[in-house]
């Protein structure tokens, strides 16, 4: 018995000693290379900092991660640009990842939460507010302005993607704004020309009904379009953005009521279909609506970047004309919205900001890089890139016209709070409210007063009244 | 004379009976065919739509294309950035799908056997916890799981660790529940007999219980196969390089709402990527149906 106990004890000590021995050697082994790499990387960064202050083109060999969302042609163009960049700057390796927009943000949100976001990212305008609230997620791009040529962008463009500390959180690749798309052929069938004033549009409603029939409408507006169109109408009355730069809501409940009355009058005058009629078809978006394809909806109010999908849906693309000129909406002009359609940002945690900026400058402003990137992310805001694309004939005159009509309309400031998730989304307020109103004013279950009160409460909940 | 008349009436009765049977059969088949067409129509339409262009897809109910085009299939064969194409994506899917199915089945059977046949301290509370997991939606788990796998350094793992490893721990509670229900119908006497013959617990499981459980195991495997091959969120969160994308992500790569996209290509890719699933389903159809009903009928 005693002997057995002694043997067990001995064995136990041996095992413990063995494990302990293993432990120490292992930790020693891992500790040494760690320390040495740390030291080298510190000296390396030190030298690059010195170098970069002397020559912005000097760079250090490194690997950068980059991700974006989009469709086929954008993926192809971006991959080609990455390959050209790696050829031009041997030693810098770009590891990339891409996907479609649907659920992309969900994946990115979890990355921001865990701090595993890529060094360089294509970012959405409202991500600054969502994921960069403390201005620690995205690098202030002005710190790398010796490499990234910001002079290619106008000050109004650079004033948009500003974070809470005043830093430049992203660089806008392109801007997009709301504009009208008209189906010329349908208007001609009704004996009309495409409307240029609100009055003409209002008059077109009854004429469409009389000449073409009940299922023809001069314009179609979804719930979200109605929210935007209403804001657009109200801003023309007051001359102030509905939510201003200080995140304050500028309208009164009374004014919202006027706006909602305006939207309801469009419906009553057969200018736009009711939500019931629009939803009855079950189309996911206007460009997938058979009524749009057949020209029964003769107009829509959409982002200018949606041009391609709207045209390609029509059997004869030439029928589509773009116009932003509803000049008599109010005392303060036609004022539309402009927002950043997407940006590129560098992570604040990026270990090689200089090289990341070098890459961004290549794809945004460099003659070769911007030429490969082309207009896959909209009409480039960078002057150099625009010149390259224009010279190469990449800029579709129709798209350019759509974009120009927006930019020329003296667009008003657009606050991303307008798209807050409590307002915009399948089950959010805009959808519920405009659907409720469209049904409610006819059966008496929801009045314009109720809707104005609800809308006012929802707006002031996210943006305090001025 | 009378006998003759008898046979006549008998014959007449037989004929009328046969007629009735034929009539009832015809009606039954008509109903079945009508319902069948109703159910198969979307699939047939999808096959037809791969040969249509966008405006025809949105404006026509007719599954037969008027202006057939092969652009969809041409587009489906494109290799993105030299890294990923439809075949590679499908191969990627199966590299994590097969281990997932095997591990899920093994771990679920072990867990179900443990809960179903052994009494141990804290069994009831642990079983309640396990059942409570049934009501926990995956969406709630996404963020904490992501943080955990990130700490373990598994994000973007080329071995799909965040997708495969959890299946080792009977994470599909529903299967455990189903297997336990099934186990209740297996007489304990068989296991007792095995014990008398000298089997230990593990041998009993492998030699006696598993063969009896086979229909239920097969349906678990099939369910897991279907769920895992449809999983979009998992790969989206944890796969970080295009060369490792599975088919679910690949199908969506070209779907950009902003610039519009070719539906025929998306549908062609979808069709190609579901072919193995359809084949597996037809091959295992009988097992599948048997498993579901066997688990449910005698509770």
- What pLDDT, on the 0 to 100 scale, is given for residue B252? 87
Q: First-to-last CA distance in chain A?
A: 88
Closest residue in A to B144 (Cα–Cα):
A110
Give, in degrees to the nearest 5, the angle at Cα A5 between A3 and A6.
Answer: 65
A87 & A111 share domain? yes
In a domain, A56, yes or no: no
Residue A53 lies in a domain: no
Residues A194 and A325 in one domain: yes
Would the CB atoms of B54 and A312 count as touching at under 8 Å?
yes
Cβ–Cβ below 8 Å for A75 and B80: yes
With 0.90 as the threshold, say if the pTM is over it: no
Q: Which of A374, A399, A424 is the last residue of a domain?
A: A399
pLDDT at A141: 95
Statement to judge: residues A306 and A434 lie in one domain: yes
Distance of CA B101 to the CA centre of its chain: 11
Which chain B residues are closer than 8 Å to A98 by Cβ?
242, 253
Q: Which of A150, A331, A168 is nearest to A235 (CA)?
A: A331
**How many angstroms away from the CA of B39 is the closest CA of chain A?**
20
**Option in A75, A79, A290 nearest B59 (CB):** A290
pLDDT in tens, chain B (299 residues): 566 777 778 888 889 999 999 999 999 999 999 999 999 999 899 999 999 887 788 777 888 898 898 988 998 888 877 788 999 999 999 999 999 999 999 999 999 999 999 999 999 999 999 889 888 888 888 889 999 999 999 998 999 999 999 999 998 999 999 999 989 888 888 889 999 999 999 999 998 899 888 888 988 998 999 899 999 999 999 999 889 999 999 988 878 766 667 888 899 999 999 899 889 888 887 776 776 655 544 44
Mean pLDDT in residue range A218-234:
91
**How many residues does the structure list for chain A?**
466
**Which pLDDT belongs to residue A299?**
92
Residues in Cβ contact with B166 at an 8 Å cutoff, skipping those fewer than 6 apart:
B145
In whole angstroms, what is the distance from residue A384 CA to residue A367 CA? Answer: 7
pLDDT given at position A266:
93
A222 and A326 in a single domain? The answer is yes
Last residue within a domain, chosen from A370, A399, A428:
A399
Chain B nearest C-alpha distance from A312 (Å)? 8
Listed in sequence order, the residues at least 6 apart from A212 whose beta carbon sits closer than 8 Å to its beta carbon are: A186, A189, A190
What is the model's pLDDT at position A18?
45
What does the alpha-carbon distance between residue B285 and residue A359 come to, in Å, rounded to a whole number? 54
Q: Which long-range contacts (CB under 8 A, 24 or more apart) does B271-280 make?
A: B271/B46, B271/B47, B271/B50, B272/B76, B272/B86, B272/B90, B273/B86, B273/B89, B273/B90, B273/B93, B273/B247, B273/B248, B276/B90, B276/B94, B277/B225, B277/B226, B277/B229, B280/B222, B280/B225
pLDDT at A17: 45
What CATH number should be reported for the domain holding residue A256? Answer: 3.40.190.10
Element (H, E) at B231: none
Query: What mean pLDDT comes out for the span A53-67?
Result: 82
Confidence tier at A334 by pLDDT (50, 70, 90): low
Residue A25 lies in a domain: no
**pLDDT category, A16, cuts 50, 70, 90?**
very low
Q: Using CA atoms, how far apart are residues A328 and A203, in angstroms rounded to an integer?
A: 14
Interface with A, mutate which of B251, B260, B261, B270 (most A CBs under 10 A): B260
What pLDDT was estimated at residue A83? 94
Distance (Å, rounded) from C-alpha B96 to C-alpha B92? 7
Predicted confidence band of residue A316 (pLDDT cuts 50, 70, 90):
confident
- Chain B closest-CA separation from residue A149 CA (Å): 28
Q: Both A319 and A226 in a single domain?
A: yes
Q: Is B240 helix (H, G, I), strand (E, B) or coil?
A: coil
pLDDT higher than 60, residue A34: no
Answer yes or no: do B81 and A79 touch at CB < 8 A.
Answer: yes
What are the residues whose beta carbons fall under 8 Å from the beta carbon of B201, sequence distance 6 or more? Answer: B118
Q: Which residues of B39-57 are buried (b: 16+ CB within 10 A; e: fewer)?
A: eeeeeebeebbbbbbbbbb
pLDDT at residue number A406: 79
Q: What integer is the mean pLDDT of A85-103?
A: 92
pLDDT at A11: 54
Provide the pLDDT for residue B139: 83
Contact at CB, A110 and B142, closer than 8 angstroms: yes
Q: Are residues A364 and A313 in the same domain?
A: no
**A1-15, A119-133, A264-278, A328-342: segment of lowest average pLDDT:** A1-15
Are the Cβ atoms of A101 and B78 closer than 8 angstroms? Answer: no
- For residues A260 and A395, state if they share a domain: no
Q: Could you tell me which chain A residue has the CA closest to the CA of B243?
A: A97
A313 in the same domain as A433: yes
Among A74, A75, A174, most B C-beta atoms within 10 A, so best to mutate, is: A75
- Residue at A392 is within a domain: yes
pLDDT over 70 percentage in chain A: 85
CB B75 within 8 A of CB B265: yes
Residues of chain B in contact with residue A309, where contact means CB-CB under 8 angstroms, are 257-260
Q: Does residue A205 share a domain with residue A124?
A: no
Look at residue A302 and tell me whether its pLDDT is greater than 50: yes
Asked if B161 and B121 touch (Cβ cutoff 8 Å), the reply is: no
Count of domains forming chain A: 2
As a whole number of angstroms, the distance between CA A96 and CA A118 comes to 9
Band of residue A453 on the pLDDT scale cut at 50, 70, 90: very high
The whole-number pLDDT of residue A33 equals: 39
Q: Are residues A74 and A186 in the same domain?
A: no
A279, A156: one domain: no
Q: Do A318 and A421 sit in the same domain of this protein?
A: yes
A299 domain residue, yes or no: yes
Residue A82 lies in a domain: yes
> Among A399, A423, A443, which residue terminates a domain?
A399
pLDDT on residue A20: 43
Nearest to A174 by CA among A46, A60, A335, A343: A343
Q: Are residues B253 and A102, on separate chains, in Cβ contact within 8 Å?
A: no
- Residue A409 maps to a domain: yes
CB contact under 8 A, B254 and A113: no
Print the domain residue range for A259: 177-338+400-462
Least confident of A202-206, A235-239, B69-73, B167-171: A235-239
Are A73 and B146 an interchain contact pair (Cβ–Cβ within 8 Å)? no
Whether the pLDDT of residue A171 is over 60: the answer is yes
Higher-scoring residue by pLDDT: A1, B112: B112
Report d(CA A345, CA B198) in Å as an integer: 68
What's the pLDDT at B293?
A: 59
Residues A242-252, mean pLDDT to the nearest whole number: 89
Chain centre distance of CA B293: 16
Return the top range by mean pLDDT from A43-52, A235-244, B1-10, B162-171: B162-171
Question: What is the average pLDDT score of chain A?
Answer: 83
Question: Which residues touch A166 (CB under 8 Å, ≥6 apart)?
Answer: none
Query: How does DSSP classify residue B208?
Result: I
Burial class from Cβ neighbours inside 10 Å (0-12, 13-18, 19+) for residue A138 reads buried
What is the pLDDT confidence band of residue A159, given thresholds at 50, 70 and 90? confident
pLDDT of residue A39: 41
Residue A11 inside a domain? The answer is: no
Taking 80 as the threshold, does the pLDDT of residue A326 lie above it? Answer: no
In three-state form (DSSP H/G/I as H, E/B as E, the rest C), the secondary structure along chain A is: CHHHHHHHHHHHHHHHHHHHHHHHHHHHHHHHHHHHHHHHHHHHHHHHHHHHHHCCCCCCCEEEEEEEECCHHHHHHHHHHHHHHHHHCCCEEEEEEEECCCCHHHHHHHHHHHCCCCCEEEECCCHHHHHCCCCCCECCHHHHCCCCCHHHCCHHHHCCCECCCCCECCEEEEEEEEEEEEEHHHHHHCCCCCCCCHHHHHHHHHHHHHHCCCCCECCECCHHHHHHHHHHHHHHHHCCCCECCCCCECCCHHHHHHHHHHHHHHHHCCCCCCHHHHHHHCCCCHHHCHHHHCCCECEEEEEHHHHHHHHHHCCCHHHEEEECCCCCCCCCCCCCEEEEEEEEEEECCCCCHHHHHHHHHHHHCCHHHHHHHCCECECCCCHHHHHHHHHCCCCCHHHHHHHHHHHHCCCECCCHHHHCCCCCCCCCHHHHHHHHHHHHHHHCCCCHHHHHHHHHHHHHHHCCEC
Give the ipTM of the model, two decimals please: 0.78
């Amino acid at each position: 018995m005693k002997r057995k106990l002694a043997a067990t004890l001995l064995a136990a000590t041996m095992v413990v000693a063995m494990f302990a021995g293993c432990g120490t050697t292992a930790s020693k082994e891992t500790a040494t290379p760690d320390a040495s790499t740390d030291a080298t990387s510190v000296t390396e960064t030190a030298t690059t900092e010195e170098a970069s202050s002397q020559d912005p083109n000097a760079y250090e060999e490194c690997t950068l991660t980059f991700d974006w969302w989009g469709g086929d042609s954008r993926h192809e163009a971006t991959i080609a640009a990455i390959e050209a960049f790696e050829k031009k700057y041997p030693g810098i390796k770009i590891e990339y990842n891409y996907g479609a927009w649907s659920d992309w943000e969900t994946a990115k949100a979890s990355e921001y939460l865990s701090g595993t976001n890529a060094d360089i990212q294509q970012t959405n305008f409202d991500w600054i507010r969502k994921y960069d609230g403390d201005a620690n997620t995205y690098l202030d791009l002005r710190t790398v302005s010796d490499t990234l040529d910001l002079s290619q962008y106008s000050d109004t463009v650079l004033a948009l993607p500003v974070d809470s500390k005043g830093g430049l959180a992203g660089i806008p690749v392109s801007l997009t704004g709301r504009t009208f798309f008209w189906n010329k052929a349908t208007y001609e069938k009704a004996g009309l020309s495409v409307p240029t004033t609100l009055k003409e549009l209002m008059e077109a409603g009854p004429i469409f009904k009389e000449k073409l029939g009940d299922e023809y409408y001069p314009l179609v507006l979804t719930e979200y379009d109605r929210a935007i169109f209403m804001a657009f109408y109200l801003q023309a009355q007051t001359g102030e953005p509905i939510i201003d730069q200080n995140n304050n809501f500028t309208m009164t409940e009374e004014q919202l009521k006027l706006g909602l009355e305006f939207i309801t009058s469009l419906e009553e005058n057969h200018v736009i279909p009711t939500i019931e009629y629009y939803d009855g078809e079950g189309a996911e978006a206007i460009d997938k609506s058979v009524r749009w394809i057949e020209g029964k909806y003769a107009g829509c109010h959409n982002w200018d970047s949606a041009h391609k999908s709207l045209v390609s849906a029509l059997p004869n693309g030439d029928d589509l004309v773009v116009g932003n000129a509803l000049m008599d909406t109010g005392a303060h002009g036609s004022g539309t919205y402009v927002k950043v359609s997407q940006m590129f940002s560098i992570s604040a945690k990026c270990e090689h900001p200089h090289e990341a900026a070098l890459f961004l400058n290549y794809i945004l402003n460099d003659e070769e890089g911007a030429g490969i990137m082309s207009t896959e992310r909209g009409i480039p805001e960078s002057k150099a890139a625009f010149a390259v694309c224009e010279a190469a004939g990449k800029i579709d005159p129709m798209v350019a016209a759509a974009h120009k009509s927006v930019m020329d309309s003296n667009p008003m400031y657009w606050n991303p709070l307008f798209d807050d998730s409590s307002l915009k989304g399948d089950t959010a307020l805009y959808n519920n409210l405009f659907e409720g109103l469209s049904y409610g004013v006819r059966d008496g279950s929801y009045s314009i007063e109720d809707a104005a009160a609800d809308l006012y409460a929802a707006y002031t909940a996210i943006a305090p009244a001025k | 004379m009378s006998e003759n008349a008898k046979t006549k009436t008998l014959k007449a009765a037989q004929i009328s009976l046969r007629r009735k049977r034929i009539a009832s059969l015809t009606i039954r088949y008509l109903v079945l065919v009508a319902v069948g067409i109703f159910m198969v129509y979307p699939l047939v339409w999808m096959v037809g739509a791969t040969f249509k262009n966008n405006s025809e897809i949105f404006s026509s109910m007719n599954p037969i294309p008027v202006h057939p085009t092969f652009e969809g299939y041409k587009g489906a064969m494109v290799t993105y950035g030299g890294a990923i194409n439809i075949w590679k994506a499908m191969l990627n899917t199966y590299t994590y799908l097969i281990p997932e199915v095997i591990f899920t089945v093994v771990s679920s059977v072990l867990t179900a056997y443990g809960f179903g046949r052994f009494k141990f301290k804290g069994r009831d509370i642990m079983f309640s916890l396990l059942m409570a997991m049934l009501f926990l939606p995956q969406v709630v788990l996404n963020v904490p799981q992501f943080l955990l796998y990130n700490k373990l350094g598994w994000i973007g793992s080329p071995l799909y660790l965040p997708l495969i490893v959890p299946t080792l721990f009977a994470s599909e509670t529903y299967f455990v529940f189903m297997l336990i229900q099934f186990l209740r119908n297996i007489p304990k006497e068989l296991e007792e007999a095995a014990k008398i013959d000298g089997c230990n617990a593990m041998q009993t499981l492998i030699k006696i219980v598993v063969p009896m459980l086979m229909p239920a195991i097969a349906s678990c495997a099939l369910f897991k196969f279907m769920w895992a091959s449809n999983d979009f969120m998992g790969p989206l969160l944890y796969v970080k390089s295009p060369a490792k994308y599975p088919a679910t992500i690949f199908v969506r790569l070209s779907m950009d709402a902003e610039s519009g996209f070719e539906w025929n290509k998306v549908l062609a890719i979808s069709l190609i990527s579901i072919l193995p699933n359809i084949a597996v389903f037809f091959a295992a159809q009988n097992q599948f149906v048997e498993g579901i009903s066997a688990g449910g009928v005698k509770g």
